[in-house]
C-alpha cells in the first residue's frame, strides 16, 4: 500500500544526501498516512541501497503493520511528534552540520534572513541534549518547538516537519542554507535580528510564491 508515497519518501532521502544533510544511513523520513498509521524509513539501510519497498508502516506503538524491515530506531520519537502535532504530516530528521553547529553554541537560530523565514517560518529553537533512538527526542521537540517548522536537537541534528513531505524538505534544505550563511556572517561580524513585523511581512510575501 501507499507505493507512491513510499517512492516520494525515497526521493526525499536521496535529496537529504544530495544536499549533504546526512551521511550513510543517518537520519530518517516519516509520513502520516492515516489514523495511527505512519510510514517510516528502515533502520540502518544506506539510502543508495534502499528501495521504496524497504519503507515500513507502523502503528502508534511502533509495531510494524506492513513491511519486512525493522523501522528507524527513532520511531518512538517520530510517533510522539505525530500524535502531539496533528498539523504535522511529514517529518525529516537529519544531522545537517551547519544548523547543528549553531545549536552547539546558541539557544536558537534567529529568523534573520529570507530563506530561513520562508522555509522555517520563525526562529528555530535548540532543544536540550537527549540521547538518540529514544522517545525523549520527540518529547523535547514538542515541548520546545514553536511556530517554526524545525527544531535543532542539541549535539545531534535537526527535526524538520510540515503539513506535507515537500514542506519538510523545503524546511530542512533551506534551514541548512540559512545556517551556513549565518555561520559565515558570524565569522566576519555580528548578526542583528529582524523585527517581528518584518518577519510577518516576509511571510505574507510567500503567498505570491509558486505556480
Contacts with Zn ion, residue ranges (CB under 5 A): 132, 157
Question: Which one-letter DSSP state was computed for residue 86?
Answer: T
Q: 211 forms bridges with which residues in the sheet?
A: none
Judged by beta carbon, residue 157 or residue 162, the one nearer Zn ion is 157
CA 167 to chain CA centroid, nearest Å = 10
Give the nearest distance from C-beta 4 to Zn ion in angstroms: 27
Judged by beta carbon, residue 43 or residue 106, the one nearer Zn ion is 43
Residue 76: enclosing H or E segment and its boundaries?
A: helix 75-84
Give the nearest distance from C-beta 112 to Zn ion in angstroms: 26
Sheet with 150-153: strands ordered across: 64-66, 56-58, 37-40, 28-34, 90-94, 157-162, 150-153, 124-127, 108-109
Judged by beta carbon, residue 74 or residue 123, the one nearer Zn ion is 74
Judged by beta carbon, residue 145 or residue 157, the one nearer Zn ion is 157
Q: Which residue has the cell 516519516?
A: 30
Question: Which one-letter DSSP state was computed for residue 199?
Answer: H
Give the nearest distance from C-beta 130 to Zn ion in angstroms: 11
Judged by beta carbon, residue 102 or residue 111, the one nearer Zn ion is 102
Judged by beta carbon, residue 159 or residue 199, the one nearer Zn ion is 159
Q: Which residue has the cell 523565514?
A: 117
Give the nearest distance from C-beta 170 to Zn ion in angstroms: 20
Which spans in 123-164 are helix H?
A: 135-144
> Does residue 31 contact residue 4 with C-beta atoms inside 8 Å?
no
Give the nearest distance from C-beta 110 to Zn ion in angstroms: 24
Give the nearest distance from C-beta 132 to Zn ion in angstroms: 5
The grid coordinates of residue 153 equal 536537537
Amino acid at each position: 500500500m501507499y507505493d507512491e508515497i513510499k517512492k516520494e519518501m525515497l526521493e526525499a532521502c536521496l535529496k537529504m544526501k544530495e544536499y549533504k544533510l546526512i551521511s550513510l544511513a543517518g537520519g530518517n523520513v516519516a509520513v502520516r498516512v492515516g489514523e495511527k498509521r505512519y510510514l517510516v524509513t528502515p533502520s540502518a539501510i544506506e539510502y543508495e541501497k534502499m528501495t521504496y519497498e524497504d519503507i515500513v508502516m507502523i502503528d502508534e506503538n511502533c509495531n510494524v503493520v506492513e513491511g519486512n524491515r525493522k523501522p528507524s530506531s527513532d520511531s518512538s520519537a517520530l510517533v510522539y511528534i505525530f500524535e502531539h502535532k496533528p498539523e504535522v504530516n511529514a517529518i525529516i530528521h537529519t544531522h545537517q552540520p551547519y544548523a547543528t553547529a549553531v545549536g552547539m553554541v546558541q539557544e536558537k537560530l534567529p529568523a534573520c534572513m529570507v530563506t530561513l523565514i520562508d522555509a522555517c517560518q520563525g526562529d528555530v529553537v535548540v532543544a536540550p541534549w537527549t540521547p538518540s533512538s529514544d522517545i525523549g527526542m520527540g518529547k523535547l521537540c514538542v515541548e520546545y518547538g514553536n511556530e517554526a517548522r524545525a527544531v535543532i536537537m542539541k549535539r545531534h541534528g535537526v527535526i524538520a516537519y510540515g503539513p506535507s513531505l515537500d514542506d519538510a524538505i523545503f524546511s530542512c534544505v533551506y534551514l541548512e542554507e540559512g545556517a551556513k550563511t549565518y555561520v559565515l556572517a558570524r565569522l566576519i561580524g555580528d548578526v542583528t535580528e529582524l523585527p517581528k513585523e518584518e518577519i510577518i511581512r516576509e511571510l505574507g510575501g510567500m503567498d505570491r510564491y509558486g505556480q
